[in-house]
Structures are given as C-alpha cells and as structure tokens.
Amino acid sequence: MENLLTVPKAMIAATVFVVQNAGACFMRGLPVVVAMGVLAYINVLTNGSFAIAGQAIESFLYAIFAVAWHRYSLLPEVREKRGFALSFGLREIKFGALIVVVSLIGYVVTSALVAVLPDEAAIVVVLILVLVASSILVFFYPAIALEQPIDGGLFVQEGLTLIFSFILGGLLAMLIFILPVGAAALIAFGIASMFGAVTMVAILVGVVNFIAWVIIIAIMVSTASFLYRDVIGLKEVHGA
C-alpha cells in the first residue's frame, strides 16, 4: 500500500510546494516561456522550416528551467540565493541532451509500431511503453540536475516497482492539471466574451496558458525531485 501511494503523495507535496513558492517559480519560468514564444514566432515566419531546430532548442530551454527548479525544490542553499536564478552549463546540456535522445527514440519506436500494428493495438502498446519509460526516466532527470550518481539498475528496479503508483499519479494529475486549467480557460473566455473583444480573448487565453504551463511543469519537476529524494535518497550536493 505504501508503494501504491508513493507517487500521489509526492505529487500532492509538489503541488503544495509550488503554490507556496509561486513567486520563485514564475521568476524562473517567465524568461523560458518568453524565449519559447520567440522560437514559435520565428517558426511561423519561416513557414515551419525552423521546426526541427526549434524543438531541439526548446529541449535545452526547458532543461534550463527544470534544472533550476529541481535544485530549488531540494536544496535549501539554492532557495536562499539572490540574483538571477537560471544558468546554462554542463548540467543543463546533459539534461537537454537526454530529452532530445528520448524524444528521438520515442518517435522512431512509435513510428515503427504504427507501421506494423493496427491503430488500436499501437496506441495501447505506446501507452504502456510511455508508462514504463516515464517511471524509469523520472529518476534520471533529477539525478542529472542534482549531480547525483546515475545508477541505471537501481532506477529501473525502483521505477518498475512503482508502475501502479504512477498510474494512480496520472489519475491524480488529471484532477490537479486538466480540470483547473480547463475551468480557468472557460472563465477567461467567458469574461472576454462579455466585452466582445477578440484581442482580450487572445490576451486572457495567453495569460492562462502561461500560468498553466509554468505551474504544471513546476509540479512535475518537483514531483520527480521528491520521488528521487524519497525513493533513491539524496547524497550531499557540492557547489549548489
């Protein structure tokens, strides 16, 4: 029963943590969101020819935020620091590179499954593979961000043990993420519609998307951080 509740407990703790540290979260998330917006605009101007390069750059932009938030989630000395909180170094390069490699492998495997299996079967197999991969990779990312030992065997063992806990965590995530975000979007649309202003609708929806993106990503990152601490164990971190 304890294993079954491991992921939901970490997700609840992460949600509370992000809400309590919302200011720090948005200070770290805003520059990354703006940069991603610029990339999206460039992609539109180039008629999609910048898409592949843009996706790779986005992976490293995400890494900048995620690494910073992993460290903020678990390292008190990082929370006490003042000044610009984001950086780009070896940690972020490794983190972003792992995202790119996992994305490429995922694309190749998904394409192969869709080519050889009926659509329904391919969807089921892909969902199972995503669940298994996510339950293992969830330990690799904080290990990189926090400069912890990469113990692949231990990560696989613990990840597979928590498979059913991750399913419960996914159901909980639907309540934490999807329902509130949907409700906020409807409220924003309703308020803007009352004024009959298309521009206001666009602005409000954009604000909702920004807030939702930062909060959701931060909760996911903090969840992974807390899982690493509680399941794997955090060794002393130097140069925080």
Q: DSSP secondary structure string, 113-157?
A: HHHHS-HHHHHHHHHHHHHHHHHHHHHHHHHHHTT----HHHHHH
141-160 pLDDT, tens digit each:
999 999 999 999 999 999 99
The answer to whether 7 and 135 are in contact (CB under 8 A) is no
Give the rounded distance of the alpha carbon of 14 from its chain centre: 12
Percent of the chain with pLDDT over 90: 39
Count of alpha carbons within 13 Å of 202, Cβ hemisphere only?
3
Mean pLDDT, range 196-210, rounded to an integer:
62
- Report the percent of the chain where pLDDT is more than 70: 83
Q: Is residue 240 part of a domain?
A: no
Q: Confidence class of residue 14 from pLDDT cuts 50, 70 and 90?
A: very high
Would the pLDDT of 200 be above 70? Answer: no
Residue 22 lies in a domain: yes
Flag whether 53 is in a domain.
Answer: yes
Place of tokens 């294993």: 3
Quote the number of domains for the chain: 1
Q: Is residue 238 part of a domain?
A: no
> What pTM does this model have?
0.84
Please tell me the predicted confidence (pLDDT) of residue 52: 75
Q: How far apart are CA 144 and CA 222, in angstroms?
A: 14
Answer yes or no: is pLDDT of 239 > 70. no
Comparing 119 with 202, the larger pLDDT belongs to: 119
83: containing domain: 6-232
Helices 152-161, 163-173: inter-axial angle, 10-degree rounding: 70
Residue 92 has pLDDT above 90, yes or no: yes
Within a domain: residue 239?
no
d(CA 69, CA 14): 11
Spatial CA neighbour of 34 closest among 13, 64, 6, 5: 64
- Closest by CA position to 122, among listed 134, 133, 109, 131: 109
Q: Is the pLDDT of residue 198 over 70?
A: no
**How confident is the prediction for the chain on average, in pLDDT?**
84
Is 48 part of any domain? yes
**Which structure tokens are listed for 218?**
């931060």
